Amino acid sequence: MFSLGYNALVGILNKSEIMGIVSTDASKPLPAFIANHKDNIRDIFNVNKNQPGKWKYDSQLWLSSFKDDPVLLVRLSEVMKECPESITRQQVQDYAHKLLLGTVDANKNLFIACMLWGYGPDPNGPKNTKLALNASKINDVLLHSVEFLQFNKVMEAYEEFNLKGCGPAYFTKFFYFVGKVYNLKPLPLISDSHVASYLEYLGETERISGLNFFKVMSRGKQGKISRIGKHTSGYIDYINTLNVWADGIGCPADNIEYFLYLSDKKGSNNQYRQNKEEDKVKRVTRVGDLNTLWSKAAKEYCENNELSNEWAMIEDMEQPKNWNLRRKDSDESPNKPEYWFKRAYQGMLITMWKFNKKTGWPESERMDTTLEQAVDEYIKTVEGSTWQKRHTPYWLKKTTFDTPQPQIAPPTQSSGNITVTLSPIQINQVKKLAEEWEVEEQAVVRILIILGLNKIVGNN
């Protein structure tokens, strides 16, 4: 069991070696928004002006949730004595310095303090915290995290942390306070949906690529990130980047993390998100109008070229048995798999028809990409491939329109070459017969020529 702090480790390893365990080579430029607010960021933890990160919590809810487990109840009560009724970031940090991290008791008590502060008034806090503490591997997970972090092995700590009820938005709080105890550099930082959402906003508005460090699990109103998932390389990139930015403006990295959190909570990016959602609605409407226009044109093309039966293959297609895509209910988009499949596949076929399979999917005129991807994945399966063969019109299997029509020539005879020119309709008929008879198209042409010659000879 390790119990050495950062200063003791310097005596064992060269400081540059410790720093090198997690690379600090971050190439993302400092956002102008952060540079312009550097004075506010440097002063953000000035306790005389405010109490940063202060949360009130329902002490009775927490105590009643733990009353059936006397051991955990004692631990919870110990933590709550340090911060009755409300808790701040500084209080958790001070409490962490009092503990002998690396022991089971200290690790669990700090974890409880982190959850108490992290959840604050959220009523889900007691339930999720208790779920994590009751895990059979809780002692090992917390112990390994502390041991890894003591040696600045943040990546290993992040990869191995796996407890029910405790996702990255919460276990990185534990990492953060352990990192503060051992004065780690780069400092492990808290990563949650607010920080993720504001970094995404800065990346988009300031055109800085690579600020999407987080695995987005869900989005809420106006498309803002509401939940993040575990993403090891992204987290390492995130803490490296913010630590480098912090060096650039002369402050600790957690000052920037808290500033980003507050900026998102205050909603300074809400108008941008709202405008973005409105643009999306306009784009979707335009695509819908194009789809309607192209659908009409494709249908007319089939009718004018005696291919109405092929249009029916699109219009009357049935939904495959094992394909499903759940969508939110609404008046305009019923939550019916067959509705979404038809919309997806029709949109793909019509777009393919419009662009003749040559220019791919024009970005400004794409159909719903989620639907496209779902269909693409389905038709890669054996069942999907079989389904597709029944429902893809012949004129989409090969390019046969809006281009010079090909000439199909049979093998040469001793009397000379014979070239047969077919119309689009005849080419279509040849392809259908070739598929039905399971022979090459050239063979069908030969048969037709022979039948035609026999007819001519017989008539004479």
Type and span of the H or E element at 261: helix 253-266
The better pLDDT of the pair 397, 377 is held by 377
* Tokens 């550099």 -> residue: 185
- Cα-trace Rg, the chain: 33
Q: What is the mean pLDDT of residues 176-198?
A: 96
Q: Which of 84-98, 354-368, 385-399 has the lowest mean pLDDT?
A: 354-368
Biggest alpha carbon distance in the chain? 112
* Tokens 């037709």 -> residue: 448
Count other C-beta atoms under 10 Å from residue 426's C-beta.
15
Between CA 19 and CA 24 the distance in angstroms is 8
pLDDT at site 302: 66
Q: Is the pTM of this model over 0.95?
A: no
Q: Which of 13-27, 91-105, 316-330, 426-440 has the lowest mean pLDDT?
A: 13-27
The ranges assigned to domains in the chain are: 6-190+238-266, 275-397, 407-459
Length of the chain equals 460
Does position 389 have pLDDT exceeding 50, yes or no? yes
pLDDT digits (tens, 9 = 90+) for 252-270: 999 999 999 999 888 766 6
Whether residue 253 contacts residue 243, with contact meaning beta carbons closer than 8 Å, is answered with yes
Whether residue 257 contacts residue 195, with contact meaning beta carbons closer than 8 Å, is answered with yes
Between CA 124 and CA 121 the distance in angstroms is 9
Distances (CA, A) of 261 to 45, 126, 265: 13, 23, 6
